[in-house]
Amino acid sequence: MSSKKINVGLVFGGDSSEHEVSIKSAKTIYNALSDSGNNKRYFVSPIYINKCGFWGDYEYSKSILLGHEKSNANIKITKDTANNLSNLPKAINKIDVWFPALHGPNGEDGAIQGLFKLTGKPFIGSGILGSSLGMDKIAMKSILKSFNLPQAPYIYLNKEDVLNTFLMQSIFDKIDKRINYPCFVKPANLGSSIGITKAYSKEELIKAIKVAASFDERIIVEKFIEGRELECGVLGKSIMRSSVVGEIKFETDWYTYESKYNENLSRTIIPAELNIDISNKIQQLAIDACKAINAFGLARVDFFYQENTQKIYINEVNTLPGFTKTSMYPMLWEASGLKLEKLVASLIEISRE
Ligand SMILES: Nc1ncnc2c1ncn2[C@@H]1O[C@H](COP(=O)(O)OP(=O)(O)O)[C@@H](O)[C@H]1O
Ligand SMILES: [Mg+2]
């Protein structure tokens, strides 16, 4: 490796439920950075974190990335070695820039961003604040509200509130008045639709709260917005750009875990068929939402669009969106004229701004 090359620490895997998706995202990024246009400028150091939190060395990580893990599975994971930062590979001192290809808790919520910050090296994507605000749906929605950005009405509760009959009565009253049925019940800190229920009645709501509470202390109940699901990519730091808008169509009642990860049950339409005013508004709102929560670098902002009222609602900001070949974020940029190889290089340059 030439010493002039920028050493990119590509961190992937992790102890979240999106471990496998993360490996696929990392593969896509690795291949794009190894492309002949990029490999003169960048050298990629893959760093795999297994499901116990063990950080693999270069050889092991690369073998996972290339799918040869069995032949190279020479690292034993014991309780003593799991989740121990002393296992960080020594080579991390040589990293010039961090590229987290992680999703969900620990990867997307500010935890690893804090660690990157302590190494004193730049990293791709949002910092600690934007990452944690993007991860926690209650925090995110309260910031969006304070910026007067459009979103579905919601209420939130804590796991312990369920034990307080008096408090629960007032919550049910609020739901009857402001939210009604069906409504969406979600754990505040998760992704991939895990732990989410669409509740059609009070009985289903009670069950749904229990489900959400088994994943998180913090629970959010949202008004059901009947509309199209649109997504927009954001790229940049001092100057933010939005991609074309894409649409998700699915065969299930809503965009569930099942339809997210089964190609036969969902598809994307890029660009979405929209009138130009709506599309412009969504592109502007995507940037506004990122600025509100202090997300930058990259983000995918998801929306509901109600055609009959022409109303747009922000659903969420994903600060480390999926990055596989068939993921919305890279596809949105490709359709906006930025090929994958250029996109990953831009992300690195933006982080070094
Ligand atoms: N308020 C809502 N109205 C209509 N559908 C919703 C609402 N909230 C969530 N959904 C459905 O649930 C899916 C997952 O919800 P989301 O909040 O995006 O969670 P996740 O972070 O797991 O992706 C959405 O893509 C949508 O299909
Ligand atoms: Mg979502």
**Domain identity same for 58 and 163:** no
Closest-lying ligand 1 atom to the alpha carbon of residue 255 = 27
The domain that holds 92 is classified in CATH as 3.40.50.20
Tell me how far apart the alpha carbons of residues 284 and 203 are, in angstroms, rounded to a whole number: 39
Same domain, 303 and 165: no
Q: Indicate the pairing of strand 42-49 with strand 6-13.
A: parallel
Ligand 1 centroid from CA 186, angstroms: 9
Residues 162, 81: Cα–Cα separation, whole Å: 38
Residue 41 within a domain? yes
**What pTM did the predictor assign?**
0.94
Distance of CA 85 to the CA centre of its chain: 24
Residue-wise burial string across 77-104, b where 16 or more C-beta atoms lie within 10 A, e elsewhere: eeeebeeeeebebeebeebbbbbbbbbb
Classify residue 128: in a domain, yes or no: no
- Ligand 1 atom closest to the Cα of residue 318 is 21
- Closest ligand 1 atom, CA of 225? 3
Judged by DSSP in three states, 194 sits in: coil
Instruction: Give per-residue pLDDT as tens, 196-213.
Output: 999 999 999 999 999 999
With pLDDT > 90 as the criterion, what percentage of the chain qualifies? 80
pLDDT in tens, 250-306: 999 999 999 998 889 999 999 999 999 999 999 999 999 999 999 999 999 999 999
Q: Residues enclosing ligand 1, CB less than 6 A? A: 152, 184, 186, 190-193, 196, 222-225, 229, 254-255, 302, 304, 315-316
Ligand nearest to the CA of 226: 1
Cβ–Cβ contacts within 10 Å for residue 69, how many? 17
SS3 content of the chain, % helix, strand, coil (to 5): 35, 25, 40
CATH number at residue 139: 3.30.470.20
Query: Is the same domain home to 267 and 119?
Result: no
Distance 135 CA to ligand 2 centre (A): 11
For residues 269 and 140, state if they share a domain. Answer: yes
Q: What's the CA-to-centroid distance between 191 and ligand 2, angstroms?
A: 7
- Domain span at residue 288 reads 135-149+226-351
Best of 178, 219, 255, 316 for a ligand 1 pocket test (most atoms within 8 Å of beta carbon):
255
CATH classification of the domain holding 180: 3.30.1490.20
Q: Is the residue at 328 inside a domain?
A: yes
- Do 183 and 202 reside in the same domain of the chain? yes
Q: Are 300 and 321 in contact (CB under 8 A)?
A: yes
From 207, 223, 239, the end of a domain falls on 223
- Of 54-63, 121-130, 213-222, 238-247, the one with minimum mean pLDDT is 54-63
CB 117 within 8 Å of CB 99: no
In this structure, the answer to whether residues 91 and 23 fall within a common structural domain is yes
Both 230 and 305 in one domain: the answer is yes
Residues 216 and 234 in one domain: no
Which residues make Cβ contacts (< 8 Å) with residue 343, sequence separation at least 6?
32, 235, 330, 333, 334
254 and 211 in a common domain: no
Give distance in angstroms: CA of 174 to centre of ligand 2.
Answer: 25
Claim to verify: residue 144 and residue 260 sit in the same structural domain: yes
What backbone phi and psi angles, to 5 degrees, belong to 86?
A: -65, -10
Q: Is residue 271 one of the residues assigned to a domain?
A: yes
Residue 190 Cα to ligand 2 middle (Å)? 10
In this structure, the answer to whether residues 117 and 18 fall within a common structural domain is yes
Please tell me whether residues 218 and 230 are part of one structural domain.
no
pLDDT band per the 50, 70, 90 thresholds, residue 50 = confident
Mean residue pLDDT of the chain comes to: 92
Smallest CA separation from ligand 1 atom 24, residue: 255
Number of domains in the chain: 3
Task: Note whether residue 313 is domain-resident.
Answer: yes
